[in-house]
Amino acid sequence: MIRTLLICGLLAGVCGGILATGFAEIVGEPPLEQAISFEEAQGEEHEHGAQAAAGHSHEESAPVSRDTQRFVGLPIAAIVYGLAMGGFFALAFAFAYGRVGNASPAKTALWMAAAGFAVFFLVPFLKYPANPPATGDPNTVAERTLLFFTMLATSLLAAVAAARLRRPLVRRYGPGTATAAAIGAYLAIVVIAGVALPTVSEIPAGFPADALWKFRMASIGTQAVLWTTMGLVLAVTAPRALAGKPILQR
């Protein structure tokens, strides 16, 4: 059964990765191009200043072309990420179904997709939002990455703790009160962590505010498409897997 559910999750992840790639290409590409143009303009100004000081010029090509990144790297990365999230999503579904609430397989898949979007992406994003190129100091990449994963780990551990807290409260206070208490405990933990962790603000002066806003909204939309697709696909395939039927109808 676990193997079949894992296949359902991987299928959901592939579908989510493909649709997320399409969304990112349509919605996320324009602000990304704006950011790249800004970065290139800044680089040209710096290079011209350095050349004037040194009295010579040189050209250096990028190791990977922009077209390769856009049409090869992005789809592959999105699908691989979708596979990883889909596999984890399926295993989490297999553990949670029947243990957290009495919802049907389809409703469980949809609720878990919403929770996954919030825990894996939205909460860490609110503290450390995605930034386009030219908005971060290369010397602080390791520090920023560590901070982001610290917030992500805190969100995951808080979600696990909230789920464990809910179980004994259901028997004593009922599912509604227990769920509210678990959500409150999760929010309290992540808010405290968000306040305690340092803020990172490295947006350079002159960077287009509309490009930054659109890029971040596109990042949210891309993840929303990914998790919504995974939830819908698992909502369709998981009940069939649990019933011992073929995942895909012939």
Indicate if 102 and 223 belong to the same structural domain: yes
DSSP 8-class letter at 139: G
Q: Which residues contact 15 (CB under 8 A, 6 or more apart)?
A: 82, 229, 230, 233
Percent helix / strand / coil, the chain, rounded to 5: 80, 0, 20
Residue 52 lies in a domain: no
User: CB of 151 within 8 A of CB of 193?
Assistant: yes
For the chain, which residues score pLDDT lower than 50? Answer: 48, 50, 57-59
Residue 114 lies in a domain: yes
Express each pLDDT in 45-58 by its tens digit. 555 454 555 555 44
Domains contained in the chain, number? 2
pLDDT at 70: 64
pLDDT at 3: 85
User: CB of 182 within 8 A of CB of 162?
Assistant: yes
Indicate if 129 and 152 belong to the same structural domain: no
Residue 105 lies in a domain: yes
Q: Which residues contact 26 (CB under 8 A, 6 or more apart)?
A: none
Cα separations in angstroms, 194 against 120, 223, 225: 15, 21, 25
Residue 129 lies in a domain: yes
Residue 50 lies in a domain: no
pLDDT at 43: 60
Could you give the CA distance from residue 222 to residue 118 in angstroms, rounded to a whole number?
Answer: 13
pLDDT at 69: 66
Give the range of the structural domain holding residue 190, as residue numbers without chain letter.
136-202
Could you give the CA distance from residue 115 to residue 213 in angstroms, rounded to a whole number?
Answer: 24
What is this structure's pTM? Answer: 0.83
